[in-house]
Amino acid sequence: MAGIPINPGSDADRENIKLATSRNTPIPNFRRRERPPEALKAARSIVLEGHPEARPRSLTATYNCIGMAFANRRTWIEPEHVPMILADDGYAEVAVPAAVMPGDLVIYQDPAGEITHVAVVVSNRPNLENGSSNILVLSQWGLDGEYLHDYTDVPHLLGKPVKFYSERRRL
């Protein structure tokens, strides 16, 4: 990547990738440069100090959680585009956590109701002690790498889990 992109994520940005929803609506995106290895290692140490149950999967800063979930880890997509992607790609809300399956998504919001984070469900096991679900997810934590973690255990800045979505097709 050379220089600072013009209109990051737009057609004028030579570093963006052609990305669209299933209805062919363009998804603005941009690619970030990788952080130095020392910065990624330091970030991992800080993350694990605050979230000891989280398990690092990959340390990179070139994509965000939305790019991980919707663009195969190739790019950075801003949270404002998530509602459009969900609608265009036929996602439906999963109202009951017990019905969430691997591959479904968890959407996180801040106190103002803005989308702040997306995670991909890896497993969902019933918790027979209290009748809830133990939902394990994979998500990219900003510029700090990918982590496997309980869906409720994220850094404060990533918000709170509020809704589950699935693109499963039902007959």
Domain covering 37-166: architecture: Alpha-Beta Complex (3.90)
Q: What is the pTM of this model?
A: 0.89
Query: What is the domain partition of the chain in residue ranges?
Result: 37-166
Q: How many other C-beta atoms are found inside a 10 Å radius of the C-beta of residue 96? A: 8
Nearest 5°: phi and psi at 152? -90, -10
Query: Residue 73: pLDDT above 50?
Result: yes
- For residue 123, CA distances in Å to 44, 104, 126 come to 23, 10, 10
- Condensed to tens digits (0 to 9), the pLDDT of residues 5-53 reads 445 555 666 667 899 999 999 999 998 899 999 999 999 999 999 999 9
